[in-house]
Amino acid sequence: MQLKIYKDYPELSANVADEIISLIKRKPDAVICLASGDTPRLTCQVFAERAIKEKIDTSKFTFIGLDEWVGISPVNEGSCRYFFETLLIKPLNLSGSQVHLFDALSKNLSEECRKMDKAISEKGGIDLMIVGIGMNGHIGFNEPGVSFDNYAHVTDLDEITITVGQKYFKGSAELKQGITLGLKHLMNSKKAIVIANAAKKAPVIKKAIEGTVSDLFPATIIQQHANGCVMIDEEAASLLNK
Ligand code: GLP
């Protein structure tokens, strides 16, 4: 596992965006999975801005959304879909056929999971997966205690996820379950990057990188990825052993 530490959030975001741009230049039909959330927000903005400015062909890559809040409408500003629509899909004019997002309002969530697993395997797997880390060590909605062998699945949310997740919503949101890609997708991806910024993430980054690999702290799995990388800013790195 590689560790890359950047001065601050803008520098981190520029370098993460560069990972996406370089991959699309090298492999225009790459399969790329991104998390939503505060951490990748600037990465998505920089990626879209650079792609437009540098006239990069973004019409051939496949975009996979990592997860979604079950029962939250796509027009709700706190939904993952809204995040991707606003920051990537609209600015880059991505077509419906190249974008795969969970429908969290579906009456058949197992079918949503099956469709996502099928779409990923039909495309030959994920080339690049860029994920954040939750305050309880989750990746996507792979909550503490999750099986490392899971593909897409629906899960009850951890108390910490429910509390922290309120930050994305105007007013209080009823968050109970999440639908998410599994850690098997992460481990099968050709490259996996965990990103984090700010001092509040320092304790979870320390546990993810220096802790014992355990399903009780799912992000520790990145230590075992053959081509895994952790990209963080100096604040998030501040508790690491020197
Ligand atoms: C959320 C999402 C994750 C995200 C993580 C960190 O609950 N389920 O996909 O990566 O928590 O979010 P943030 O970047 O806002 O700290």
Q: Which domains are delineated in the chain? A: 2-231 (3.40.50.1360)
Q: What is the pLDDT of residues 46-92, one digit of tens each?
A: 999 999 999 999 999 999 999 999 999 999 999 999 999 999 999 99
Q: How confident is the model at residue 172 (pLDDT cuts 50, 70, 90)?
A: confident
CA distances from 198 to 38, 50, 66, 151, 233 (A): 11, 24, 22, 30, 7
pLDDT, mean of residues 185-203:
98
φ, ψ of residue 25 to 5 degrees: the values are: -65, -40
> In the numeric block, which tokens belong to residue 83?
């995040």
> 164 C-alpha vs ligand 1 centroid, how far in Å?
9
Q: Which residue in 100, 138, 153, 225 is the catalytic one?
A: 138
How far is the CA of 64 from the CAs of 27, 97, 113, 132, in angstroms? 16, 11, 12, 15
Q: What confidence category does residue 137 fall into, taking pLDDT thresholds of 50, 70 and 90?
A: very high
Q: What is the mean pLDDT of residues 225-230?
A: 98
Tokens of 69: 């809040």
Q: CA-CA distance, 15 to 9, in Å (whole number)?
A: 10
Query: Crossing angle for the helix pair 41-53 and 9-26, nearest 10 degrees?
Result: 50
pTM to 2 decimal places: 0.98
- CA-nearest residue for atom 9, ligand 1, is 140
pLDDT (0 to 100) of residue 114: 98
At 242 the pLDDT is 78
Catalytic-role residue among 67, 68, 158, 235: 67
Is 138 designated active site? yes
The pLDDT tens digits for 6-42 are 999 999 999 999 999 999 999 999 999 999 999 999 9
The residue assigned the tokens 């969290």 is: 104
